[in-house]
Structure 1
Amino acid sequence: MVDNYVVWLDSVGMGDVGQVGGKNASLGEMIHALSDKGVRVPNGFATTAHAFRDFLAHSHLTERIHQSLEALDPTDIHALKECGAEIRRWILDSPFPVPLLNAITSAYEKLEGQTDGKLSVAIRSSATAEDLADASFAGQQESYLNVCGVESVLASIKNVFASLYNDRAISYRAHQHFDHQSIAISVGVQQMVRSDLGSSGVLFTLDTESGFRDVILITSAYGLGETVVQGAVNPDEFYLYKPTLATGHHAILSRTLGSKEIRKIYARDNLKDFIVTERVPELERNRFSLNDRQIHELGRYAVTIEEHYGRPMDIEWALDGVDNKIYIVQSRPETVKSQEKTTNSINRYKLKERGTVLAKGRAIGQAITNGTTRIIANISEMERIQPGDILVTDMTDPDWEPIMKRASAIVTNRGGRTCHAAIIARELGIPTIVGTGDATESIPNDHTVTISCAEGDDGYVYDKALAFELITTPIKSLPPLKTRMMVNIGNPGRAFDYASIPNDGVGLARMEFIISNIIGIHPRAIIDFENLPAESRDEIERKISGYGSPIEFYVEKLTEGIATIAAPFSPNPVRIRTSDFKSNEYANLIAGREYEPFESNPMIGYRGALRQLSEPFRPCFELECKAIKRAREKMGLSNIELMIPFIRTLDEAIDIISLLEENGLKRGEDGLRIIMMCEVPSNVILAEEFLEYFDGFSIGSNDLTQLTLGMDRDSEWMAAGFDERNPAIKESISRVIQACHNQHKSVGICGEGPSHYPEFARWLVEQEISSISMSPNSIIETWNGLG
Structure 2
Amino acid sequence: FISSSYGLGEAVVQGAVNPDEFYVHKPALAAGRPAVLKRGLGEKAVQMTYTDSEEVGRTVDFVPVPADQRRRFSLTDDEVQQLARHAVAIEKHYGRPMDIEWGKDGVDGELYILQARPETVESRKATGTISRYTLAQRSNVLAEGRAIGQRIGAGQVRVLTSIDQMASFQAGDVLVANMTDPDWEPIMKKAAAIVTDRGGRTCHAAIIARELGIPAVVGTGNASRVLAEGTPVTVSCAEGEAGFVYEGLLDYTLQETSLDTMPEAPVKIMMNVGTPEQAFSFAKLPNHGVGLARLEFIINRQIGIHPNALLAVAGEIERPASLSDNTVREIREKIAAYDGPRDYYVRRLAEGISTIAAAFAPETVIIRLSDFKSNEYANLLGGPAFEPSEENPMIGYRGASRYLSDSFRQAFELECEALKYVRNEMGLTNIKIMVPFVRTLDEARGVTELLAENGLRRGENGLEVVMMCELPANALLADEFLEYFDGFSIGSNDLTQLTLGLDRDSALVAEGFDERNPAVTKLLEMAIAACRAKGRYVGICGQGPSDHPDFAEWLLAQGISSISLNPDAVTETWLRLARSGTRSAI
TM-score range, shorter-chain basis?
over 0.9
Query: By how many angstroms is 1:482 displaced?
Result: 5.8
Query: By how many angstroms is 1:267 displaced?
Result: 3.9
Q: Which residue of 1 aligns with 2:167?
A: 383
What are the residue-to-residue correspondences of 1:248-263 with 2, within 5 Å? Answer: 248-263=32-47
Tell whether the 8 Å contact from 1:483 to 1:768 is kept in structure 2 after alignment. no
User: Aligned partners of 1:334 and 1:581: how far apart in 2?
Assistant: 42
User: Of 520, 529, 547, which aligns to 2:313?
Assistant: 529
> What secondary structure, in the 3-state scheme, does the structure 2 residue paired with 1:786 have?
helix
Query: By how many angstroms is 1:720 displaced?
Result: 1.4
Q: Which residue of 2 aligns with 1:303?
A: 88
**Change beyond 3 A, Cα 1:270–1:709:** closer
User: Of 235, 238, 258, which aligns to 2:19?
Assistant: 235
Query: What is the identity, as a one-letter code, of the residue corresponding to 2:37?
Result: L
Query: By how many angstroms is 1:369 displaced?
Result: 2.0
Pair 1:317 & 2:108 matched:
no
> What secondary structure, in the 3-state scheme, does the structure 2 residue paired with 1:363 have?
strand
> What secondary structure, in the 3-state scheme, does the structure 1 residue paired with 2:422 have?
helix
User: Aligned partners of 1:220 and 1:232: how far apart in 2?
Assistant: 13
Structure-1-length-normalised TM-score? 0.71
Query: What is the identity, as a one-letter code, of the residue corresponding to 2:195?
Result: V
User: Aligned partners of 2:254 and 2:574: how far apart in 1?
Assistant: 20
User: Aligned partners of 2:282 and 2:402: how far apart in 1?
Assistant: 32
What are the residue-to-residue correspondences of 1:74-93 with 2, within 5 Å? Answer: none
Query: By how many angstroms is 1:481 displaced?
Result: 4.5
Query: By how many angstroms is 1:271 displaced?
Result: 12
What are the residue-to-residue correspondences of 1:18-417 with 2, within 5 Å? Answer: 217-268=1-52, 274-343=59-128, 345-417=129-201
**Which stretches in structure 1 are left out of the alignment for 5+ residues?**
1-216
Q: C-alpha offsets along residues 448-506 of structure 1, whole Å, 9 cap, x if unaligned?
A: 11111100000001112222222234446444356321111001011111111121111
User: Of 413, 421, 425, which aligns to 1:622?
Assistant: 413
Q: Which residue of 1 aligns with 2:544?
A: 753
**Change beyond 3 A, Cα 1:392–1:255:** same
Pair 1:720 & 2:511 matched:
yes
User: Aligned partners of 2:457 and 2:240: how far apart in 1?
Assistant: 33
Query: What is the identity, as a one-letter code, of the residue corresponding to 2:27?
Result: P
Tell whether the 8 Å contact from 2:153 to 2:214 is kept in structure 1 after alignment. no
User: Of 395, 399, 415, which aligns to 1:604?
Assistant: 395
Pair 1:645 & 2:463 matched:
no
> What secondary structure, in the 3-state scheme, does the structure 1 residue paired with 2:507 have?
coil
Pair 1:420 & 2:211 matched:
no
Q: C-alpha offsets along residues 125-173 of structure 1, whole Å, 9 cap, x if unaligned?
A: xxxxxxxxxxxxxxxxxxxxxxxxxxxxxxxxxxxxxxxxxxxxxxxxx
Tell whether the 8 Å contact from 2:4 to 2:19 is kept in structure 1 after alignment. yes
Q: Which residue of 2 aligns with 1:765?
A: 556
**Change beyond 3 A, Cα 1:290–1:707:** same
Pair 1:590 & 2:381 matched:
yes
Query: By how many angstroms is 1:443 displaced?
Result: 1.8
Tell whether the 8 Å contact from 1:241 to 1:253 is kept in structure 2 after alignment. yes
User: Of 404, 413, 432, which aligns to 1:613?
Assistant: 404
**Change beyond 3 A, Cα 1:270–1:438:** closer
Query: By how many angstroms is 1:666 displaced?
Result: 0.6
User: Aligned partners of 1:310 and 1:467: how far apart in 2?
Assistant: 42
Q: Which residue of 1 aligns with 2:215?
A: 431
User: Aligned partners of 1:698 and 1:422: how far apart in 2?
Assistant: 41
Query: What is the identity, as a one-letter code, of the residue corresponding to 2:74?
Result: S
User: Aligned partners of 1:472 and 1:267: how far apart in 2?
Assistant: 51
Query: By how many angstroms is 1:353 displaced?
Result: 1.6
Query: By how many angstroms is 1:724 displaced?
Result: 0.7
Matched-pair identity in %: 57
User: Aligned partners of 2:441 and 2:366: how far apart in 1?
Assistant: 22
Pair 1:464 & 2:248 matched:
yes
User: Aligned partners of 2:576 and 2:561: how far apart in 1?
Assistant: 17
Tell whether the 8 Å contact from 2:130 to 2:284 is kept in structure 1 after alignment. no
Query: What is the identity, as a one-letter code, of the residue corresponding to 1:572?
Result: E
User: Aligned partners of 2:255 and 2:20: how far apart in 1?
Assistant: 33
Query: By how many angstroms is 1:593 displaced?
Result: 1.7
Larger radius of gyration: 1
Structure-2-length-normalised TM-score? 0.95
Q: Which residue of 1 aligns with 2:474?
A: 683
User: Aligned partners of 1:667 and 1:446: how far apart in 2?
Assistant: 60
Tell whether the 8 Å contact from 1:475 to 1:780 is kept in structure 2 after alignment. no
> What secondary structure, in the 3-state scheme, does the structure 2 residue paired with 1:488 have?
strand
**Change beyond 3 A, Cα 1:369–1:269:** closer
Q: Which residue of 1 aligns with 2:341?
A: 550
Query: What is the identity, as a one-letter code, of the residue corresponding to 2:12?
Result: V
> What secondary structure, in the 3-state scheme, does the structure 1 residue paired with 2:52 have?
strand
Query: What is the identity, as a one-letter code, of the residue corresponding to 2:483?
Result: E
User: Aligned partners of 2:136 and 2:495: how far apart in 1?
Assistant: 28
Number of equivalent positions: 570
User: Aligned partners of 2:455 and 2:292: how far apart in 1?
Assistant: 22
Q: Which residue of 2 aligns with 1:121?
A: none
Q: C-alpha offsets along residues 215-246 of structure 1, whole Å, 9 cap, x if unaligned?
A: xx000000110000100000000000000100
Tell whether the 8 Å contact from 1:482 to 1:770 is kept in structure 2 after alignment. no
Q: Which residue of 2 aligns with 1:40?
A: none
Query: By how many angstroms is 1:620 displaced?
Result: 1.1
Q: What's the RMSD between the two structures over aligned residues?
A: 1.5
Moved more, 711-720 or 248-257: 711-720
User: Aligned partners of 1:663 and 1:234: how far apart in 2?
Assistant: 39
Q: Which residue of 1 aligns with 2:238?
A: 454
Q: Which residue of 2 aligns with 1:705?
A: 496
User: Aligned partners of 2:214 and 2:252: how far apart in 1?
Assistant: 17
Q: Which residue of 2 aligns with 1:663?
A: 454
> What secondary structure, in the 3-state scheme, does the structure 2 residue paired with 1:762 have?
helix
User: Aligned partners of 1:714 and 1:422: how far apart in 2?
Assistant: 41
User: Aligned partners of 1:635 and 1:733: how far apart in 2?
Assistant: 36
Query: By how many angstroms is 1:736 displaced?
Result: 0.5
Query: By how many angstroms is 1:749 displaced?
Result: 0.4
User: Aligned partners of 1:673 and 1:554: how far apart in 2?
Assistant: 24
User: Aligned partners of 2:391 and 2:167: how far apart in 1?
Assistant: 59
Tell whether the 8 Å contact from 2:205 to 2:218 is kept in structure 1 after alignment. no
User: Aligned partners of 2:553 and 2:118: how far apart in 1?
Assistant: 47
**Change beyond 3 A, Cα 1:420–1:648:** same
Pair 1:442 & 2:226 matched:
yes
> What secondary structure, in the 3-state scheme, does the structure 2 residue paired with 1:718 have?
helix
> What secondary structure, in the 3-state scheme, does the structure 2 residue paired with 1:732 have?
helix
Query: What is the identity, as a one-letter code, of the residue corresponding to 1:558?
Result: L
Tell whether the 8 Å contact from 1:306 to 1:312 is kept in structure 2 after alignment. yes
Q: Which residue of 2 aligns with 1:577?
A: 368
User: Aligned partners of 1:465 and 1:591: how far apart in 2?
Assistant: 37
